[in-house]
Structure 1
Amino acid sequence: MTTELRVLKPAEWERWFGSCELAFGGIPEEATERALWSELTECDRSIGVWDGEDCVGTAGAFGLRLSVPGGAVVPAAGVTTVSVASTHRRRGILTSMMRRQLDDIRSWGEPLAVLTASEPVIYGRYGYGAATQFLAAEIDTARVRLPEPERTDRPDGVRLRRVKADDPAVREACEALYAADVAGRPGMLARRPGWERRPVVGGGKAADGRSALQCVLAERHGEAAGFALFRLRPDWDRSGPKGTVELKDLHAGDPAAYASLWRFLFGIDLMSTVEAGNRPVDDAFQYLVSDFRRCRVRLQDSLYLRPVEVGAALSARTYRAPVDVVLTVEDAFCPWNEGSWRLSGDAGGASCERTGDTAELALSVRELGAAYLGGTSLTALARAGRVTELRPGALAAASEAFGSDVAPWLPHGF
């Protein structure tokens, strides 16, 4: 059977996206979400595999901008909509798409490729390493408490106000607060026009009884200082109400606004649980709650990252401590990265160039991707046998330099 891999044509989008939906279980996206994905898809950066008139493989690559340690925002290809039809498995279709895509990303001059993996085992063989995790929590607000402010009327000048989540002025204020966080936390996406709708699309009342998306704005002197986006899921039993607050997003510019928003979520009438599905692993609520055990916290892998051009990628970020190390990199899928690289840098900048000098650390591009944002230490990878120290002392110095004081975090998918 002959298949054809080609760049997606706009007129083919419905069949292409429908093929991906079918591969992910056959449940269509909600209409407004589907419309947004149609608008955001960059067809000239997307590919499909066709068997006659049937689309049997899909892969896209958004042109994203990713924050990295040091505060820079770096071009990155956001790999998305990857699927192979169940009728065409084990024929090399996925590998052919990954090969074409990485060649394209290199030609576009983007040093990084990133994705969120439905099945993590798939992407390691193409050089992607797990670079961020997220924290999820199910907080029993009937038993867990937050510290009360010294004043009960607008503590620290913070006023909370209910607003409409889809109000353009509200979205503008929320986007400004989100944007202010980007430079300070690796792994966040600097949202391009249209992506500001991502957090609120499909925000109407859910068919399963959840409320429409709600928003509370924290203000100080009339200026936005934070916001929380959430849904309510009412429920009762014979003992009374036991509803759940589903937190979708929360950003705040200072500790007082942050704590005020969490106190509000804990105190919503008829609710006894706050579910936070995607928070940074160092999120401050953990250090405010009275009983961490009753927060039922778990960790999960999130953003997978692959250096497409090792030299450009390592030069694009800064380093927590001075580093001067020769890395020997294994990358069979993108052989232009293979060999030895001298990385020199500090908090002010870095360079990474080809070298013939003796290697001091050996690792694959997958481990380099896992450590790139500072959330996974080279030392931990070495303990797992994934990084080899070739010069005594090189591992500890490089691991310290690659680290980040702020945990990397991907706030939403793509």
Structure 2
Amino acid sequence: MTQTITTNNNKTTLAYAQQLDINDPLAIIREQFAIPKQANGEDEYYFTGNSLGLQPKLAREYVIELLDSWGQRGVKGHFEGDHPWMPYHEFLTEQSALLVGGKNEEVVMMNSLTTNLHLMMVSFYQPQGKRSKILLEDHAFPSDHYAVESQLKHHKKNVDDNMLLWTPRAGEELLNHDDLYQMIEHQGDEIALILLPGVQYYTGQVLDMKTITEKAHAKGILVGFDLAHAVGNIEMALHNWQVDFACWCSYKYLNSGAGSVAGCFVHQKHSTNTDSETQVNRFAGWWGHDKSSRFKMENTFKPIPTAEGWQLSNPPVLSLAAIRGSLDTIKMAGGIKELRKKSIKLTQYMTELISSELGDKIRIITPSNQAERGCQLSLMINVEGLDGKAMFTALEENGVTTDWREPNVIRVAPVPLYNKFQDIYHFVRLLKECLQ
């Protein structure tokens, strides 16, 4: 039975944070993770799940299980055991689809994030006539910008003329959706593809993927999203929103280890079309070939009529094992709906505590509207003569792991799987001490 404390209503006290933790039905999930230690042996205050999630104990268990299978079975491990390697990526499909709001046949775990973005643009960026532009946000994650620029160059398109940037208004950090909708309305017949993040990495702003897709499709524009900072963080419904494609990494909120295998969504209207005349263009590899005839070793490509048809090579199963461990841990917590409920509480508590304890010394540039943010808060130090990078370093020296992004933001992500309300209390306490 959950113990309940109701004696302290002062939100600025440690007792209040302890009360929230005792009343938290997901608090026990923290025990499923390896928590880094400070020099004094105490747990770190770890707020960098938006960069690299902590290790689930099941991930370690499943990787060791796979290593043992390799040692015991050799090549037979592809077909034997409870989790044979040949179909291993399929063990991840259902839970991955739930996280992004897709159908099982629309989702596959493969490659790395930027590789998948390139593969998707091979299929979905097909410039024709004056419809040749790609629209992305200003201050996009550099890899996305590089990928778009290189795709334009690959198609012999002038980058300056064909890369449209959705920029914040003067003096603002956040993107204004009305500005984007005006660009779509006025330049839609020149835009071939829109590629945007689900959650903007620098500000933590959640974009309205549903409305963006609707307005783009009304103008004949295809739409893709980079969900690196969205998957495992916010609820999504990619299938119902009619998103054409999306890609994500698995090592942030999916906690599968640095550089782990990425994910990809291709809407059913594209993925099930294998007609040689009308299917979208793609770069093909044998792991995307029809499973029933793959080992006949024939040279006529027959794509699997699902997102799996975009696979190139057999995936690294050690990485898939870590992802399976993480997905099972998320399932243990009740899935993304339950995580989102706690995330909102964590983030709201942090914003309230920062406001009451630090006032205007800290400026949170992430939207205040809960529907427009995930668990990440992007903080700017608002004290004259005080360097934000120095503050980041001071926090690090005091056992707080956050994330610094140039030019001047400390990113803090209270992750519902393993962060406690007490972590937030101590973070704000230490931030206040460092400021003083």
Taking CA–CA contacts closer than 8 Å with sequence separation of 6 or more, which of the two structures ends up with the larger relative contact order? 2
Q: Same fold judged by TM-score > 0.5?
A: no
Higher strand residue share: 1
What is the TM-score of this pair, normalised by structure 2?
0.24
What is the TM-score of this pair, normalised by structure 1?
0.25
